Amino acid sequence: MALKGLDIFKLTPKTNCKECGNPTCMAFAMKVAQGAIPIEKCPHMSDDAKATLSEATAPPMKSLKFGTGETEHTLGGETVLFRHDKTFVSHNLFGVNVCPGCFDDRIGEVEKVSYERIGEHMYTEVLNLGFKGDQAAYVELVKKAMGHNRALILECTDAAAAAAALDVCADAKPILNGATPDNYKEMAELAKAKGVLLGVSAPDLDALYDTTAAIEGLGYKDLVLDVTGATVRDTYANAIQVRRAALKDKDRTFGYPSIVNLGKIAAGDVTKQTALASMFVLKYGSIILMDGMSYAQALPLFGLRQNIYTDPQKPMKVEPGIYALNGATADSPCATTVDFALTYFIVSGELERSGVPVNLLISDAGGYSVLTAWAAGKFSAGSIAKFFKEQDIEGKITSRDLIIPGKAAVLKGELEEQLPGWNIIVAPNEATGLVKFMKDLKA
């Protein structure tokens, strides 16, 4: 059970705390209870007290890391069921199922999925390596996968094959997804010896709970729960009930991240797997595995994930700068709009559809829409002129045509004063009119 500020205060030494300056340490205790400061910051508390409080104040879902270097990822750490209650902590990961016979066919698609969106690198983060009965072939599969800069999951319930695979890749800190009600003791020993996360699966939720509790009883708690069931319905129910048990009922036996393997419940149906993946982004797959992920599949899934796993109180913004569209050069006309991500993608999409080369200039407008930014003074003639100077637009671009949003037409006169020599052109009020507008302008 989580401790409150007063409970922490009872265990905190009554000395002049260096962190909060309060002789009674009440301020420090309240900050710890709110999660604003870790208990380890207290210089006066004993190690035993710190260990007790750290466990009591930890999130109901354990936060875990796997992978190393560029492939390291954080799972779990969630404290709420719904995004409107509090920003989610760790976004889900997408992975592709591979085996000795299908690796070469699927890895090509995996490598193609790589792009930047609003400052985030979007790519398929995980390779799930399935064991098919041949230990030597499995070890070779692991060696091949190691060369593709992805976090790894070893889906293997054979202890000997898992040990051989870990001899190759343990330093990469994969997840060993192989513990079942029948083999959990030896798998727990193997995972503990190699220092990797252990995936746990079972035929139903009761068995999954009992197996997880038994592994915890062995002293190992770096776990991931494979909630994949026999059907879509079972898997969906499992994912929700595990998350609710952890976050709502505070049952730490289910307080671990989850794996959902869509290749097992929608095998061979790419469209269905994509649709299900979007559902489990919402409810509640920590790692979502598919039989393949093409660029076309990835675009909507990564966009959805980014929308769900960002702070709803902080607008999504693109970086200020010059975005050359349709092969624009220094001679191409300029257009400007705000840095609100939705506005940027709508406007840039329509400009690209027009086929007309144009330099899209994005200044810092606070992440607001056009009218909101204008009303707040974030998108004004002064701010645009300042952006021009900071980015040396006149030194980089020879064209002197600047297209402004139709809803900000009021800025035309002021911009002509702030930017002498520039031809200020007012675009349509709606982005849907940009295609015809740009073609007519070129003509």
Encode pLDDT of 77-99 as tens digits. 999 999 888 889 999 999 999 99
Cα R_g (the chain), whole angstroms: 27
Nearest one of 108, 114, 80 to 94, comparing CA atoms:
114
| Interatomic CA distance for residues 293 and 290, integer angstroms | 7
Tokens representing 97 are 């199922």
Please tell me what DSSP assigns to residue 19: T
Pairing of the two strands 287-290 and 223-226: unpaired
| Interatomic CA distance for residues 258 and 278, integer angstroms | 15
Query: Given this model, what pLDDT does residue 116 score?
Result: 85
Confidence of residue 23 (pLDDT cuts 50, 70, 90): very low
**Total-model pTM:** 0.79
328-381 pLDDT, tens per residue?
A: 999 999 999 999 998 999 999 999 999 999 999 999 999 999 999 999 999 999
The type of residue at 339 is D
Would you say residue 274 has pLDDT above 60? yes
Would you say residue 1 has pLDDT above 50? no
Would you say residue 220 has pLDDT above 70? yes
Strand partners, 99: none
Confidence of residue 6 (pLDDT cuts 50, 70, 90): very low
Average pLDDT for residues 384-394, to the nearest whole number? 95
Would you say residue 76 has pLDDT above 70? yes
Would you say residue 211 has pLDDT above 80? yes
Query: Given this model, what pLDDT does residue 99 score?
Result: 94
DSSP H helical ranges for 92-174: 103-112, 135-146, 159-169
Average pLDDT of the residues of the chain: 90
Pairing of the two strands 258-261 and 223-226: parallel
Query: Do residues 209 and 254 lie in contact, with contact meaning Cβ atoms separated by under 8 Å?
Result: yes
Query: Given this model, what pLDDT does residue 28 score?
Result: 67
Confidence of residue 52 (pLDDT cuts 50, 70, 90): low
| Coil/strand/helix, residue 294 | coil
| SS percent in the chain: helix, strand, coil, step 5 | 45, 15, 40
